[in-house]
Structure 1
């Protein structure tokens, strides 16, 4: 099979009894891509990674790396390396010996090992630490040693299984930027597993959102955020308010929805399958909401809500409110434009209908 992709999968299925942990997955990952698989615990993403690494075999489907079928190739013969959450560095070896371990197993001469180890340490920003013990390093430095140990082997694919999960928040934020930088610097194709949407959105060129063994949507981060294809993606990627109602009318790719409160609002259709009278849900992101006033654009939708709390959130105020028994919150800048708010005060929130997404309650 000829392919331009570093990784190609066709109809992958992995069953455990009657349960399909991976259910008909197909994908193509171009060379040099940072590709993330995002989903909640139990969605099948780690099983998929094990199939790619060769630790498990699919019941159906094929895996190709640079056009070569990998289904029956053992892990140690695949052009793949893997970084685990707990890094698995050897505590009795120096940093240099950890990085050179794979080269030694491949019978690379000692002088060449030392040269390549020094080069990769320079590339990951840890020059001159060959003789240190990894346990003497910080968490971020150990993370880079684990990456260097894989990258020194020049794999076609680097598989990363939630590698930032054990780090504290500040270090995790720092490592997101460093990982993206290193991936671009080395040009290696990364396949990254995470349940953390911020990791996937910040680092990735493409993100596959996984649910129940399938991809709900595969797209660049910006598309996932602005144009979620399913209610699950809309609810899982970023924050969203969800408002229930009935479809009144459809026109110009917009749906008029009568909310359970009786108010009629509008949002952009996620599909063409909705019909008047159908039950629907409108998703609108907190930062897309503004306060309605006399200057509000006439094309905007407006909804009345009761304020429950106003919370300081750095550069923004988080306004928590309620409409027709449903929680609603807005993220508004602290620039003095917001009216003074007290608990139980009534406000009107407005939004551009093009920034809202409307789904049928069955996912249509």
Structure 2
């Protein structure tokens, strides 16, 4: 356990019958970190959050907050607060009374309560709204009231269970930036649960990618994107092409892969040992693909593909194609350098092998 850890868990297990919803999870979250747990529905992330909050108890393992073991500490005695997806604001209370509810329960004197409520409203950008009803506020303002209600109690950890899920797209984009700003402003450790990779990647200092009750990888967002540790992370975090083939040779960090259409291409070995004859998957990001002619840049790999459709996507064109029956898509810039591609056109897509990742197909 690091000296500056706000949250340290070791070997957490929570079973429901024969199913382990949380399966030997360990994590170490330094103070002041925005830590996200990212995974698909049903992977166990909400169960893990309930264990941290004290709403449930682990079957095995330990939870420490600021160095103190929390396994048997009830929720109301833990230095933790939680923001839910549907906010759970009291509709009959004013904004100020909602924010001050926890302080009142703690018997904080009225004058001190008012001072802290006013201060936190200023910090979340809602000064002077303490007498308004939550129903009179916008969705983003109600979101900030829910955050203020937790932050005014100065918790060690703030747990957030998909709090942006009920907001429309434009407001979600705005709140991602605001949440990151507020976390840095308050210096509180955030543990954020989401299935939305964009939320996790934009806001987080560290992201744990969770699958089937376990963490596949814990790393900063850039590392998850550029250096995925497993095929699941490669496929789940960001858009990726996955091309199946057979390992023909391995040279240092590069593997030669024979694809189904006969193309011989290269990618960087992602992890473990690859052997000739082994089935493998090559992952390449759509933005790493470039249109090329017969003259190939030295060291590059390329495939022939048939265009299925071309979609306008703002600054880019999204080219949907197929190679030997395998779907492949590229994200090409709308800067006039790329020709307009018609359906059924034959194109050549190339990439730098250093940007591709190769995993053995039998690896989890």
Shorter-chain-normalised TM-score: which range?
A: over 0.9
Offset, 1:274: 1.1
Offset, 1:41: 0.4
Q: Which residue of 2 aligns with 1:166?
A: 166
**Any conservation in 1 of the 2:176–2:203 contact (CA below 8 Å)?**
yes
Give the distance between the partners of 1:6 and 1:85, measured in 2 at CA: 24
Query: What is the TM-score of this pair, normalised by structure 1?
Result: 0.99
Offset, 1:294: 5.3
Is the aligned partner of 1:82 residue 2:79?
Answer: no
Offset, 1:4: 2.3
Give unmatched runs, 5+ long, in structure 1. Answer: none
Offset, 1:339: 2.4
**Number of corresponding residues:** 364
**Any conservation in 1 of the 2:31–2:189 contact (CA below 8 Å)?**
yes
**1:117-266 maps to which residues of 2 (within 5 A)?**
117-266=117-266
Give the distance between the partners of 1:331 and 1:53, measured in 2 at CA: 42
Offset, 1:293: 2.6
1:162-213 Cα deviation digits (max 9, x unpaired):
0000000000000000000000000000000000000000000000000000
The secondary structure found in structure 2 opposite 1:90 is: coil
Q: Which residue of 2 aligns with 1:283?
A: 283
- After superposition, the CA RMSD in angstroms is 1.0
Offset, 1:87: 0.2
Which of structure 1's runs of 4+ aligned residues deviate more than 4 A?
none
Give the distance between the partners of 2:102 and 2:254, measured in 1 at CA: 57
Query: What is the TM-score of this pair, normalised by structure 2?
Result: 0.99
Give unmatched runs, 5+ long, in structure 2. Answer: none
Give the distance between the partners of 1:304 and 1:280, measured in 2 at CA: 19
**Any conservation in 2 of the 1:81–1:150 contact (CA below 8 Å)?**
yes
Q: Which residue of 2 aligns with 1:24?
A: 24
Q: Which residue of 1 aligns with 2:38?
A: 38
Is the aligned partner of 1:60 residue 2:60?
Answer: yes
Offset, 1:341: 1.5
Give the distance between the partners of 2:214 and 2:90, measured in 1 at CA: 36
Is the aligned partner of 1:323 residue 2:323?
Answer: yes
- Worse-superposed segment, 18-27 or 290-299: 290-299
